[in-house]
Amino acid sequence: MGSRLRESLEPRISFFAFQDIITSTSGILIIVVLLLGTFLGSQSVTDPRKQQRHQKELEERKAALEEEVASLEKALGELRGKATEVDPEKLERDLAVLRSANEALAEKIAALNAAGAEKRKEIEATISRAGLDRLQGEIRDLEEKNAARRNAVEELRQEHDSLAARVQKLSAKVTLAETEKNKIWLIRDEKSSSKAPLILFLSPTDCRLWEMDRPQKSHSLPTRTEPLLEGLEKVLGTYRASDAYVVIYVQPGSVSLFEKVRELIQEKLRFDAGWDAVEEGVVIQSGTPPAYQLEEPEPISSRPGKKA
């Protein structure tokens, strides 16, 4: 009984699970080996040209990789050479020298600031002992006044620059006005007549005839009397007196010529005519007068020399 009890109390060891694991693992390995052998043995023969092309691609890739490896090895060698050139101990010594110099410089700056503060205190104490406090206050007042004057001078300088720009702009306008002042554009009054106006300009240097409504139909005429009369009669012969009238503008130097022209137009050709005198240098312009754009008026200054 005692032996049976001892036998029943002893732990029993079973290798069943371990045997299952070994068996399963061995079976899996055998299957994998068989599959690999099957795949290796069943590889079909491919096209020789494809094999050559594939082999060529592999060789090219191998050559590119070899070149890349060579370049990397070269760069690595250069970096190692540069690393060996740098002396760590010397670098540490240089850094220590720079740190000490920086600290010494900071100490000097602090000492100079402190000395400056002490010097200012001594100067103030000296001024106070000498009874110059009032003079020092006057000096400060003068410095403030000078600063205010400098600001005023800067404002005046800016205002001067602005005025100079305005003067330049106005000068350009004056120049343009000088070039345009002797030019006159005519504007027709539609209510005056149903006939088409013909403009005749007489001057010692320029004689022209054009239709006011169609300035492109312009005729240049001679300035001498006989050729002018012949040319004018020829040109006016293309118009009818019932459809057009003539407006004559004459300069003082062409008054004698004007009398003969007026007689030709009114008495011989039977055109209605009107006339007017213009000053020397005035030029009658043909075509549409230019449209001038008025600018906005500039604000009036609130005080002289100051912009609003």
Residues 177, 169 contacting (CB under 8 angstroms): no
Q: Does pTM surpass 0.75? A: no
pLDDT at 266 over 70: yes
Residues 239, 198 contacting (CB under 8 angstroms): yes
Hey, which CATH number is domain 183-285, 2.60.40, 3.30.450, 3.40.50, 3.30.420? Answer: 3.30.420
3-state helix, strand, coil in the chain (%, to 5): 60, 10, 25
pLDDT at 2 over 60: no
Domain ranges of the chain: 183-285
Residues 142, 148 contacting (CB under 8 angstroms): no
Share of the chain above pLDDT 70, in %: 71
Please list, in sequence order, all residues whose beta carbon lies within 8 angstroms of the beta carbon of residue 235, skipping any fewer than 6 positions away: 209, 219, 221
CA 50/CA 52 separation, integer angstroms? 5
Give the confidence band of 241 by pLDDT, cuts at 50, 70, 90: confident
Per-residue pLDDT tens over the stretch 50-105: 777 777 888 888 888 888 878 877 877 777 676 666 677 777 888 888 888 889 88
Residues 200, 191 contacting (CB under 8 angstroms): no
**Mean pLDDT on 126-154:** 80
